[in-house]
A and B are shown apart, each in its own frame.
Chain A
Amino acid sequence: MKEYKTITEISGPLVFAEVDEPVGYDEIVEIETPDGTTKRGQVLETSEGLVAIQVFEGTDGINRDASVKFIGETLQMPVTEDLLGRVLDGSGRPIDDGPDIVPEERRPIVGEAINPYSREYPEEFIQTGVSGIDGMNTLVRGQKLPIFSSSGLPHNELALQIARQATVPEEEEGDDEEGSEFAVIFGAMGITAEEANEFMEDFERTGALERSVVFMNLADDPAVERTVTPRLALTTAEYLAFDKGYHVLVILTDMTNYCEALREIGAAREEVPGRRGYPGYMYTNLATIYERAGRIKGEDGSITQIPILTMPSNDITHPIPDLTGYITEGQIIVDPDLNSKGVEPPINVLPSLSRLMDDGIGEGLTRGDHGDVSDQLYAAYAEGEDLRDLVNIVGREALSERDNKFLDFAERFEREFVEQGFDANRDIEETLEVGWDLLSMLPKQELNRIGEEYIEEYYQDEEAEAVTADD
């Protein structure tokens, strides 16, 4: 391991050093500042005689006299089942006064891509107990389904509710005691200490910590470190899922901070920026995170990802949500308007989407009518939503009886279907029941997206409706 004191340039998060032996691309570097602190970095570019290093912990304190040591390997994550219950910093070092971690193995954090041929298509319904998700945007095991939110909205509460309530109903009932266990990996990037506490308290309160591994990079931690935190988390997740057979739920928050860190590095390298200053390779870079979700043929475990991101100016076309949406298998939208109406959780189902829903629901999985009900609820809510603009102009009286029904429907949909509170855990039957309650407000022939046999079975005619109206 060769040591140099050859730093020639320091620029933002980057350090350039001269070398007289070849250094591998992506390798880990240790930099010791004159005052004795050690910082870690990674080789971004290597050529004969010169390397560019990206320093995780920030370059402050580094000067020309700092020593640079090349470790000769790429960044590794020490993995072991003992990580469960532990809290680590954004670089993977324990910060919880627990015992030393004795790794079973060390794995490169740049995960290899899963061979598409080896994947198993995700289609096991995960019941989150949240109607806006289960009913309308169903999550399945092995899916990557982000939450698109904005600052100040209760996306963390929603993520926690999902982490707390998520079950796979069949297994719950089934007697396979040896079925895989459930684990949560939480990767925080640049969140505030307050938010971090919120998560930690909930984990401790519910005992979830025991089956969790927490990676914490807080707002005042180095920004560049954020580029490795999710990879450490996912390397751990892959180990637990595909070596130890756990069903792992990975929550990454806030991906916006991750992307900001990418932008910072790009700018420091004087790269030609892409849209709104973010690097042109951000799509590929994000894909190397999000695509590390899924199932593998012949393996028991799975990785389900719920990344959270806050959309700058609540703009879904901003590169961060935009590129994310192009990679993930749908998105759950947390909406400021619903939030100010007091709807908890404020999920706007219209722009939300779960692309893996169709294969995870239906007869034998959830219920035969699930797909049709969800389609019809969408259509009716969308129609009601549309009319709201109009009603502001012309008033309710100017609308037909039919239109008024749809307006009422939209209102009740938000109040009864989406709204449930962060503590309520509705099973899929309950969710569908609420759905039918609402659909029964509409005349039968309006339910053109529902199979006639289901209307027969579940539609509540007038008398029945009166009974359920006040529940």
Chain B
Amino acid sequence: MSQATESDVTEDGVIESVSGPVVKAVDLDARMNDVVYVGHEGLMGEVIEIEGNLTTIQVYEETSGVSPGQPVESTGAPLSVDLGPGMLDTIYDGVQRPLDVLEDKMGSAFLDRGVDSPGIDLERTWEFTPEVEEGDEVGRGDVLGTVPETESIEHKVMVPPDALDEDETATISAIESGNFNVTETVAELDNGEEVTMRQEWPVRKQRPTKSKYTPRTPLVSGQRILDGLFPIAKGGTAAIPGPFGSGKTVTQQSLAKFSDADIVVYIGCGERGNEMTEVIDDFPELPDPQTGNPLMARTCLIANTSNMPVAARESCIYTGITIAEYYRDMGYDVALMADSTSRWAEAMREISSRLEEMPGEEGYPAYLAARLAQFYERAGYYENTNGTEGSITAIGAVSPPGGDFSEPVTQNTLRIVKTFWALDADLAERRHFPAINWNESYSLYRDQLDDWFLENVADDWPELRQWAIDVLDEEDELQEIVQLVGKDALPEDQQLTLEVARYLREAYLQQNGLDEVDRYSPPEKTYRILQGIKSFNDEAFEALDAGVPVEEIQSIEAAPRLNRIGTTPDDEADEFVSEIEENLTEQLRELY
């Protein structure tokens, strides 16, 4: 997090009461959302309510032992993040303290209290290459130069949004290439502004942009059911609700690994420590499917696990989206995953109840819906103030109690997001993964993304998809009958439809997130698998029409091999499907 300098610290206030993460102080001279240091240990907190002389603070660290009478200092600045090179390939806690630095400073694997650290390394130097010259005119957000931040990402050093007014410009009076740390001036403007590679930005405030567009490019996820049936746009929003163990985290991680975003901000909000460790272990090893570089080179992790202080959980979402906005400003496509937004909502609820605010539905504060909307609103496909285009795709996991989607967090989220990937306990229990229920899920982006798929993948993409949807719908209806009378009581053509639907489920919708090949399916392969199943469908129905009994059609040897396309390497998949198509045609035609 961004650190205030000593001189900013105002006169002390005094603690009046302590209840868990909520501390009240008197005589504190602070504004709403100012960062304060609480007690003798200087625990970090934020002002969340001011009433007369009484200031309420949410404390980002454990408060055991803190007592009334201890001092509180205000930094005079709102909760902000440090923005600059060095955020990628880093893991932060909810208030942007780098966890590796904390480990170092605390000298322990356990998180101690009262230790602070800037969000980016203030000493490390970076090689700055100017993109403008002395005398050039620049506006806010304009790119002054670049820094190779990681092997994948060129970091753009921009005029900070608060350095100039909306349409104001300034002239570069000095700019130099060379190695600088983030506190050194790399450029001077004629209005006296000295630009460094480090910006600060209050997390609760959206960074300015020029305009928001309708997104028309998909965030290609490499997940068949997503790309194929429920695609999300770059700049879109999605919710993944589901009961525990249904696959929210695996889906989010797959997206973080394989989607074609430039930058990934992954927020572990109130979830498991080991899941973050897994990311820290895996991402440096896994190649980014776009660049071949380690995934970590495009990733920023924020980890505020379930046992870490609840107030920092409340803020971690804001920390994450602010970092995402900063990279968007550079013209990048950023994908942000928040796992889980329910834990975030619960953090709000916990703080709110300690404040004795009037509870809304199920004890959540009345402003829950507004906060969720504000968060997802910060996603989008934008034209930035510097004229570049960038996007933030926001994907939030939702963990409804008892897996019941009628609860407030799911419902309020559904009102905002345009893509809904409903995870299903039944499917998960059957090990049908990803356990995304195809009857319940939807994507409102489908039509606006069709052009992209038509142009880039296949000219019958929408038709083929519609065929698959129709078969799955029909299966759904037939299943109800089967439950009552058994499959064999159905007419033969319906039995065959069920067989085709089974292949759709097993060979197309299912995708093993843990298999090295299957976990990522490029759109071409996704399309080809569907084509293969359609070929089976067409040939099988012809055989049926020619009088071949369905039982015989079902027992041809070639068809079950459809289920193996997923695990066939991408560059062999096309040939493999062709082979299956040939075989099954041959085997079916032999029957009549």
Q: Which chain B residue shows the least CB distance to A73?
A: B65
| Bitwise interface map of B from 294 to 326 toward A, beta carbon under 8 Å scored 1, else 0 | 000000000101111010000000000000000
A115, A287, A394: the one within 8 Å of B109 (CB)? A115
Residues of chain B with a CB closer than 8 A to A242's CB: 109
Chain A residues near B17 (CB-CB < 8 A): 45-48
Q: A379 on the interface (CB 8 Å rule)?
A: yes
The answer to the question of B57 belonging to the interface, with a C-beta cut-off of 8 Å to chain A, is: no
Residues of A within 8 A of B64 (CB): 24-27, 74, 108, 110
* A116/B18 contact (C-beta < 8 A), A74-B64, A280-B346, A358-B514 known: no
Chain A binding site: helix, strand, loop or mixed by DSSP? mixed
A112 x B274 contact (CB < 8 A): no
Whether the pair A274, B362 counts as a contact (CB closer than 8 A) is: yes
Please indicate the chain B residues that have their CB under 8 angstroms from the CB of A371 in the complex: 514
Is A291 a contact of B305 with CB atoms below 8 Å?
Answer: yes
Q: Can you name the residue of chain B whose Cβ is closest to the Cβ of A389?
A: B483
Q: Check if B346 sits within 8 Å of A284, measured CB to CB.
A: yes
Residues of B within 8 A of A47 (CB): 16-18, 24, 68
User: Smallest CB–CB gap between A79 and chain B, Å?
Assistant: 15
Please measure, in the bound complex, the distance between the C-alpha atom of A46 and the C-alpha atom of B20, giving whole angstroms: 10
- Asked if residues B402 and A27 are in contact (CB atoms below 8 Å), the reply is no
Cβ–Cβ < 8 Å partners of B252 in chain A: none
Tell me, yes or no, whether B504 is within 8 Å of chain A by CB.
no
Q: How far is the CB of A251 from chain B (nearest CB, A)?
A: 20
Known: A112-B62, A118-B109, A379-B430. A390 touches B486 (CB 8 A): yes
**In the complex, B471 has a CB within 8 A of chain A:** no
B431 touching A378, Cβ below 8 Å: yes
Q: A173-181, A191-199, A348-356: which lies at the B interface?
A: A348-356
- The residue that B103 contacts in the complex, of A112, A118, A359, with Cβ under 8 A, is A118
| A329 B274 Cβ-Cβ under 8 A | yes
> At the interface with chain A, which of B154-162, B170-178, B277-285?
B277-285
Q: Which residues of A contact B20 (CB under 8 A)?
A: 25, 281
Q: Is B343 an interface residue (CB 8 A)?
A: yes
Q: Is B569 an interface residue (CB 8 A)?
A: no
Contact B63 A26 (CB under 8 A): yes
Measured CB to CB, the closest approach of chain A to B463, in angstroms, equals: 28
Q: B111 — which chain A residues lie within 8 A by C-beta?
A: 112-115
Of A25, A26, A275, A356, the contact of B274 (CB 8 Å cutoff):
A356
Q: Are B429 and A351 touching (Cβ within 8 A)?
A: yes
Q: If the complex has contacts A116-B99, A296-B109, are A121 and B274 also in contact, measured as CB distance less than 8 A?
A: yes
Contacts A46-B17, A272-B353 given; does A121 touch B278 at CB 8 Å? yes
Interface segment, A32-40, A81-89, A211-219, A318-326?
Answer: A318-326
- Chain B contacts of A122 at CB under 8 A? 274
A120, A121, A297, A299 interface centre (most CB from chain B within 10 Å): A121
Is the C-beta of A292 less than 8 angstroms from some C-beta in chain B? yes
Q: Is A330 an interface residue (CB 8 A)?
A: yes
Closest to B357 in A: A272
- Asked if A116 and B244 sit within 8 Å, CB to CB, the answer is no
Contacts of A322 in B (CB 8 A): 243-244, 401-403
Shortest Cβ distance from B344 into chain A, in angstroms?
12
List, in ascending order, chain B residues with CB within 8 A of A117's CB.
91, 99-100, 102-103, 277, 280, 303
Q: Which single member of B307, B403, B563 contacts A448 (CB below 8 Å)?
A: B563
B259 at the interface (CB under 8 A from A): no
Map CB proximity to B onto A286-299 as digits: 1 under 8 Å, 0 otherwise.
01100110101111
Does B542 sit within 8 A of A, measured CB to CB?
A: no
What distance in Å separates the Cβ of B514 from its nearest Cβ neighbour in chain A?
5
CA distance A288 to B99 in the complex (A): 19
Whole-angstrom distance between the Cβ of A255 and the nearest chain B Cβ: 15
Is A327 in contact with chain B by the CB < 8 A criterion?
yes
Q: Known A22-B68, A353-B245; judge A116-B346 contact (CB<8 A).
A: no
5 residue pairs from A and B, CB less than 8 Å apart: A26-B63, A119-B274, A317-B402, A359-B278, A371-B514
Extra A-B contacts (12), CB below 8 Å, given A24-B64, A27-B65, A399-B486: A26-B63, A112-B110, A119-B109, A242-B109, A275-B362, A281-B346, A287-B307, A291-B273, A296-B109, A325-B243, A371-B514, A400-B551
